[in-house]
Structure formats: structure tokens, C-alpha cells
A and B are shown apart, each in its own frame.
Chain A
């Protein structure tokens, strides 16, 4: 089966600009997660979708971040406007059922200058 794919793999933007990250989970996986790793720190949970519904968005840093999963398939994470501290690697993961291990994508490396 195809794995979790994320696009783009790298993005360099200026402070104040907007960026949209995309995640395509494994087909049939209802659960989709976004995580972020800021340089040298731990990987932190951002939010969890079950199909198209936000199950837990307690990790979203602030209202500059907007995640969507229309139709319960792929998801987007938009950062608007981007700030310097948003730089990091954004990981997406999916799972078929809630208790099963997560399958991660390769991540999107975001650099805000």
C-alpha cells in the first residue's frame, strides 16, 4: 500500500506570508494526525481528525494555524500569517483505527525567514 505522503517536502517563505501543507493519508485510514518538530526539540502533537471531524485540536499553537480535512480524505494545514517561530518539520500520520500504530509521512520542512 502507498504510504502517507506530504507535500511539499520543503517550503521557504518570508514572515507574514501564507503557506499550506498537504497530507494524503493511507487509503482507508480514518484517523489523521498532525505533529510538529521545532529544531532540536520534541515532536509535538497538533491535532487529530477522525474522518472529517476534529477529534482533538488541543495542540494547535494559535489561531494562525488552520487545519481542514474536507471529505475525510486528504488534509491541509495552513499557516497565515507565518512567523519565525513556525519554522520546523511538520509531520502527518494516519491510522486505520484509534489503537493501531501510526504511519508517518516524510514531513514538510518549513523555514520562515
Chain B
């Protein structure tokens, strides 16, 4: 069965620190990959997605993610975080022939000024 692992459950950083959140998935076929973010009191929203092409994907608010097929990974990065990045981040995957998203357990990021 497909699954998504997010290794960091809770990350605490100071502003301007660099961020990398790990995401690994298990599925042997072609996949679409996503990162969603949920800011406090708000709905889940799409941060970035990978369907095909350049494995380095740029998203909103300075976030990027790199798809490494050989490692089944899709880690999220940001060079310099801000207090407003405090949120919960979810990695998700779906197989090309389905609409069903498989989510990881989420990573709660706290950024202190």
C-alpha cells in the first residue's frame, strides 16, 4: 500500500534559519507529489506540486522542493524562514491513475522571532 513518511513531527527554528522538512513515500509507479500547508486557524492550501519535468519545484512564499526518484523523496526547503511560516506542513502523493491523496502525518513548524 502507498504511504508517506514525514520524519520531523515538530520543528522549532529562529527567524532566518534554513529549513528542510523530510518526506519519503512508498509507491513503485509514477506519482504526483504535493506539499500542503495549514496556517493557524486557516484551511489547508497548496504550497507546491510536482507532476513531471524539472525535479526542483518552486512554490509560493520562497519554498521549494526537490523530487529525488531514486530516494523516493520530496523534501521541502526554504533558505530563510520567517515568523509567518509558523504552520503545519503536509506532504502528499497520489498515483497517476488515481485522485486519492495519501498524506503524511504532518510537521508542525514553529518559528520564533
Chain A contributes a number of interface residues (CB within 8 A of B) equal to: 25
Residue picked from A31, A33, A42, A45, most chain B C-beta under 10 Å = A42
Q: Which of B9-43 contact A (CB under 8 A)?
A: 34, 36, 42-43
Distance to closest chain A CB from B95 (angstroms): 12
Question: Do A59 and B101 form a contact, CB below 8 Å, given A3-B43, A101-B49, A104-B44?
Answer: no
Question: Do A101 and B46 form a contact, CB below 8 Å, given A40-B105, A42-B103, A42-B105?
Answer: yes
- Report if A44 contacts B (CB, 8 A): yes
B99 touches A104 (CB 8 A): no
Cα distance A6–B35 in the bound complex, in angstroms:
22
Cα distance A101–B50 in the bound complex, in angstroms:
11
B105 touches A104 (CB 8 A): no
Neighbour of B44 across the interface among A48, A55, A59, A91, CB < 8 A: A91
Q: Which residues of A are interface residues toward B (Cβ below 8 A)?
A: 3-4, 31, 33, 35, 40-45, 48, 55-56, 58-59, 91, 93, 98, 101-102, 104-107
Show 16 A/B contacts (Cβ-Cβ < 8 Å), sorted by A: A4-B43, A31-B99, A33-B99, A35-B103, A41-B105, A42-B102, A44-B103, A45-B100, A55-B99, A59-B100, A91-B44, A102-B46, A104-B36, A104-B44, A106-B42, A107-B43
